[in-house]
């Protein structure tokens, strides 16, 4: 490109910009607002731009290599000071009487502007909105903007429009050229906004098209196993349950059974709040596979949980002659060998376990259906290995972390989703209180009343980030305090991740059999543990937990017939922390809390790192652009199925993009 020499080209290359096209698609991360502000109306600490006249000779002081320049200026009727750091060279040009435009932060109390930029001359000679690019100190913003101008003038018209004209018209989206101008050289704030709107939609549409194409490709390629289950046997089993399934459970059982029977491979996500009764739904699905002569597998993230599932399934299925086995990290070598042998011979019908299930030597004879419980606890890779165990077994992922819809259709867009959105009848809301740590005395009194009435309690221990060891230490301390406090009246138990599996087992058993009344624990009880007689929970340092996790923890109580209570001990320092505590006391609805969590923490933190499956968007923001996402999704679903999309010229650029993404071959590349 003319005007870009070798050195600049190298600097640009270090930013990943190799071509003119790369350059044009390098978007600013924000726009600086240079519209003039009236100081009298500007709140403390806000950014301002003012036009002013220099009134004094600047004073410069040095501190080592750093410098500080102070100058008095007159802005309207305000005499204020402007302070600039490390720009002492401005001193020569700031002569009294000069007209300048200053941008910076307004310190209202001290009547000082801590300047970021000074430009010489009155305001009208500059634009109101300047893009700010992420240039990592390689190139100056002004220089970069000049190159951008050249690039757009020379090549901007050669970049083909990606969106069909009909769509731009329908949604009143700026055409590509205008949108590029709007991003790089906006006329006004609205221009930026409209440009952004266009790129957000384009990005989300492209993404959803990939997801939908992927979903279709997988459906076409992955021939599943038609599992012809015995409906009569299923009905008979459901009859033996001590309760009637909720409407939502029935609906989801039907969705699962329909998938099992079909030739498609099931790839389904089952979302249901804590306590909504996912286990029995999973069991029915596994049993269905068994009645058709297949094996089933159920993978849980922790040993406690796997054991609990195993207990449930033994109780339900041993009487029906279904052979259930448990495989975990603590299964002894001999027992393990025996299980593996029977599994390979088809003498085990349902295998339950932790990630011990996905070791290479675990071979099934005829695996037809795989379920993972609390799927967010497993990595993408672990899930894939499990899927690959049989010959295209049907797969169901269960999660008790309700996922806000925007994230669900982004991270799991290529899956079918079932939702259990109804709790079994008669469940009472868990009464939740937020208290300060100093009120622990009152909390213990209340806890004691519950214990005296025959109930049990959990005490979740102070959490120390990233340090399992310190967590344990804390738990031990609290355990000792409570043991002394309840001495001679109630038994206190201790549970944490560093206990030997046998010890964990013994503690859990003692708690569920009622021999221990108070269980002090780290967050290992977070998932799945079911002791219906426990009605009281105290969570120390509750402000350190995210909403989703607090909700999971709280879900350990409120599982039986008695009224349950949850006390959050927290002294949050931030507004956000306070809001989280308030949200917990206001609602028991996991989906509402999930939406709130997303709003407060943003999509990146929602799933925790790495496993999120969320793509990085250039422009789109999953919290704020949810409407655009919804529209893009509907359009993508419709387009992939439509004749026009695959033939009309208008859609050529989008088709090319799809072909390049690998989605048509069933590969997900983000
Ligand atoms: P989660 O969805 O959190 O895994 P569980 O499957 O552990 O929930 O079920 C929670 C509790 O609800 C269990 O004690 C279970 O026996 C009970 N339960 C499940 N379904 C029903 C129902 N339809 N009616 C009454 N109780 C039920
Ligand atoms: Mg569960």
Name the residue among 599, 619, 644, 602 with its Cα closest to residue 173: 619
Ligand in closest contact with the CA of 298: 2
Ligand 1: residues with CB < 6 A are: 243, 245-246, 249, 272, 274-280, 400, 424, 528, 530, 532, 559
Domain limits, the chain: 1-29+127-159, 35-126, 244-420, 430-587
* Alpha carbon of 530 to ligand 2 centroid (Å): 8
How far from the centroid of its chain's Cα atoms is residue 363's Cα?
34
Statement: residue 591 has pLDDT above 70: yes
Name the residue among 669, 635, 670 with its Cα closest to residue 212: 635
What would the CATH number be for the domain defined by 244-420?
3.40.50.300
DSSP state of 219: H
Nearest atom (ligand 1) to Cα of 278: 2
* Alpha carbon of 227 to ligand 1 centroid (Å): 26
pLDDT of amino acid 670 = 45
Question: Contact 618/199 with Cβ under 8 angstroms?
Answer: yes
Tell how strand 394-399 and strand 267-272 pair up.
parallel
Name the residue at shortest CA distance from atom 26 of ligand 1.
424
Nearest atom (ligand 1) to Cα of 560: 14
The mean-pLDDT minimum among 153-157, 310-314, 612-616 falls in: 612-616
Question: Contact 357/309 with Cβ under 8 angstroms?
Answer: no
Q: What tokens appear for 275 in the block?
A: 């306590």
Statement: residue 615 has pLDDT above 80: no
Q: What tokens appear for 650 in the block?
A: 């208008």
Residue 267 vs residue 209, higher pLDDT: 209
* Alpha carbon of 373 to ligand 2 centroid (Å): 7
pLDDT of amino acid 380 = 60
* Alpha carbon of 425 to ligand 1 centroid (Å): 10
Backbone φ and ψ of 117, nearest 5°: -140, 145
pLDDT of amino acid 604 = 65
Residue 660 vs residue 382, higher pLDDT: 660
Element of type H or E holding 640: helix 626-641
Statement: residue 419 has pLDDT above 50: yes
DSSP state of 545: S
Ligand in closest contact with the CA of 275: 1
Dump pLDDT digits (tens) for 5-24. Answer: 999 999 999 999 999 999 99
Distance CA 181, CA 210 (A): 27
Across the range 452-465, mean pLDDT stands at 86
* Alpha carbon of 529 to ligand 1 centroid (Å): 11
Question: Contact 434/584 with Cβ under 8 angstroms?
Answer: yes
Dump pLDDT digits (tens) for 370-415. Answer: 999 876 655 666 666 766 666 678 989 998 877 887 777 777 777 8
Statement: residue 165 has pLDDT above 70: yes
Best of 245, 252, 274, 275 for a ligand 1 pocket test (most atoms within 8 Å of beta carbon): 275
- Would you identify the CATH topology of the domain 430-587? Rossmann fold (3.40.50)
Contacts of 34 (CB under 8 A, 6+ apart): 49, 101, 103, 123, 126, 127, 128, 129, 130
Nearest atom (ligand 1) to Cα of 282: 6
Q: What tokens appear for 494 in the block?
A: 């201790």
Residue 617 vs residue 198, higher pLDDT: 198
pLDDT of amino acid 432 = 97
Name the residue at shortest CA distance from atom 13 of ligand 1.
277
When mean pLDDT is compared over 393-397, 441-445, 499-503, the highest value belongs to 441-445
Whole-Å CA distances, 188 to 131, 185, 194, 424 = 11, 9, 10, 55
* Alpha carbon of 308 to ligand 2 centroid (Å): 10
Ligand in closest contact with the CA of 274: 1
Distance CA 221, CA 218 (A): 5
Best of 271, 279, 298, 401 for a ligand 1 pocket test (most atoms within 8 Å of beta carbon): 279
Identical fold for domains 244-420 and 430-587, yes or no, is yes
How far from the centroid of its chain's Cα atoms is residue 187's Cα?
36
pLDDT of amino acid 316 = 95
* Alpha carbon of 279 to ligand 1 centroid (Å): 7
Burial, 338: exposed, middle or buried (Cβ in 10 Å; 0-12, 13-18, 19+)?
middle
* Alpha carbon of 277 to ligand 2 centroid (Å): 7
Name the residue at shortest CA distance from atom 4 of ligand 1.
278
The mean-pLDDT minimum among 26-40, 151-165, 607-621 falls in: 607-621
HSE on the CB side for 387, CA within 13 Å? 19
* Alpha carbon of 472 to ligand 1 centroid (Å): 30
Nearest atom (ligand 1) to Cα of 559: 11
* Alpha carbon of 353 to ligand 1 centroid (Å): 20
- Would you identify the CATH topology of the domain 35-126? OB fold (Dihydrolipoamide Acetyltransferase, E2P) (2.40.50)
Across the range 303-319, mean pLDDT stands at 91
Name the residue at shortest CA distance from atom 18 of ligand 1.
277
Name the residue at shortest CA distance from atom 10 of ligand 1.
275
341 by DSSP, 3-state: which? helix
Name the residue among 254, 328, 243 with its Cα closest to residue 285: 254
Name the residue at shortest CA distance from atom 16 of ligand 1.
277
pLDDT of amino acid 378 = 59
Nearest atom (ligand 1) to Cα of 555: 3
Binning pLDDT at 50, 70 and 90, where does residue 546 land?
Answer: confident
Report the side by side order of strands in the sheet with 350-353: 324-327, 350-353, 295-299, 367-372, 394-399, 267-272, 416-420
Distance CA 220, CA 146 (A): 50
Binning pLDDT at 50, 70 and 90, where does residue 264 land?
Answer: confident
* Alpha carbon of 232 to ligand 2 centroid (Å): 26
pLDDT of amino acid 611 = 47
142 by DSSP, 3-state: which? helix
Distance CA 386, CA 355 (A): 9
Ligand in closest contact with the CA of 559: 1
Across the range 95-112, mean pLDDT stands at 91
Nearest atom (ligand 1) to Cα of 246: 23
Across the range 46-55, mean pLDDT stands at 90
* Alpha carbon of 302 to ligand 2 centroid (Å): 11
Across the range 243-266, mean pLDDT stands at 93
Q: What tokens appear for 249 in the block?
A: 């459970």
Q: Average model confidence (pLDDT) for the chain? A: 88
Ligand in closest contact with the CA of 279: 1
Name the residue at shortest CA distance from atom 23 of ligand 1.
245
């Amino acid at each position: 490109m003319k005007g870009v020499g070798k050195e600049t080209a190298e600097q640009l290359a270090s930013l990943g910009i190799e071509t003119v096209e790369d350059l044009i698609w390098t978007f600013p991360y924000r726009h600086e607002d240079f519209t003039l502000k009236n100081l009298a109306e500007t709140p403390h600490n806000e950014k301002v731009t003012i036009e002013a006249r220099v009134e004094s000779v600047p004073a410069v002081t040095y501190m080592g290599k750093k410098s500080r320049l102070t100058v008095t200026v007159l802005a309207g009727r305000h005499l204020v000071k402007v302070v600039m750091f490390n720009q002492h060279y401005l001193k020569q040009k700031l002569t009294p009487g000069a007209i300048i435009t200053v941008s910076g932060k307004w310190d209202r109390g001290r009547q000082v502007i801590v300047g970021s930029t000074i430009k010489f001359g009155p305001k009208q000679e500059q634009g109101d909105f300047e893009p700010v690019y992420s240039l990592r100190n390689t190139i100056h913003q002004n220089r970069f903007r000049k190159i951008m101008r050249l690039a757009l003038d020379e090549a901007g018209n050669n970049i083909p429009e990606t969106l069909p004209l009909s769509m731009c018209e329908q949604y009143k989206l700026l055409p590509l050229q205008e949108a590029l101008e709007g991003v790089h050289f906006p006329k006004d704030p609205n221009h930026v906004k409209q440009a952004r709107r266009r790129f957000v939609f384009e990005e989300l549409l492209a993404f959803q098209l990939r997801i939908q194409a992927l979903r279709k490709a997988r459906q076409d390629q992955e021939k599943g196993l038609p599992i012809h289950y015995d409906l009569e046997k299923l009905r008979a089993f459901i009859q033996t349950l001590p309760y009637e399934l909720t409407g939502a459970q029935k609906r989801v059982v039907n969705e699962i059974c329909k998938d099992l029977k079909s030739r498609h491979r099931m790839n389904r996500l089952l979302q249901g709040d804590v306590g909504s009764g996912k286990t029995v739904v999973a069991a029915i699905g596994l049993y269905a596979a068994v009645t058709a002569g297949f094996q089933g597998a159920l993978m849980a993230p922790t040993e406690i949980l796997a054991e609990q599932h195993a207990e449930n399934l033994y109780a339900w299925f041993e009487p029906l002659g279904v052979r259930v086995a448990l495989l975990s990290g603590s299964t002894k070598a001999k027992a393990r060998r025996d299980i593996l042998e029977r599994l390979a011979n088809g003498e085990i019908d349902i295998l339950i376990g932790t990630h011990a299930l996905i070791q290479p030597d675990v071979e099934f004879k005829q695996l037809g259906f795989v379920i993972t419980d609390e799927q967010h606890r497993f990595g993408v890779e672990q899930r894939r290995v499990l899927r690959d165990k049989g010959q295209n077994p049907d797969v169901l992922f269960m999660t008790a972390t309700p996922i806000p819809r925007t994230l669900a259709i982004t991270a799991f867009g290529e899956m079918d989703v079932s939702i259990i959105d109804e709790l079994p009848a008669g469940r009472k809301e868990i009464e939740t209180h937020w208290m300060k740590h100093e009120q622990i005395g009152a909390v213990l009194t209340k806890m004691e009343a519950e214990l005296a009435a025959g109930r049990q309690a959990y005490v979740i221990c102070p959490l120390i980030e990233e340090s399992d060891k310190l967590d344990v230490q804390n738990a031990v301390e609290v355990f000792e305090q409570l043991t002394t406090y309840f001495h001679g009246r109630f038994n206190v138990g201790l549970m944490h991740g560093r206990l030997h599996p046998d010890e964990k087992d013994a503690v859990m058993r003692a708690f569920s059999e009622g021999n221990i009344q108070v269980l002090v624990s780290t967050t290992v009880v977070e998932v799945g543990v079911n002791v219906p007689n426990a009605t009281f929970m105290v969570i120390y340092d509750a402000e350190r937990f995210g909403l989703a996790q607090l909700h999971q923890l709280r879900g350990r109580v409120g599982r039986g017939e008695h009224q349950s209570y949850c006390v959050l001990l927290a002294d949050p320092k931030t507004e956000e922390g306070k809001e989280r505590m308030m949200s917990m006391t206001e609602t028991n609805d996991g989906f509402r809390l999930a939406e709130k969590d997303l709003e407060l923490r943003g999509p990146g933190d929602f799933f925790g790192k790495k496993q999120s499956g969320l793509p990085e968007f250039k422009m789109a923001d999953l919290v704020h652009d949810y409407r655009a996402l919804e529209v893009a999704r509907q359009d993508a679903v419709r387009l992939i199925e439509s004749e026009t999309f695959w033939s009309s010229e208008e859609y050529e650029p989008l088709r090319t993009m799809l072909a390049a993404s690998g989605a048509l071959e069933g590969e997900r590349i983000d």
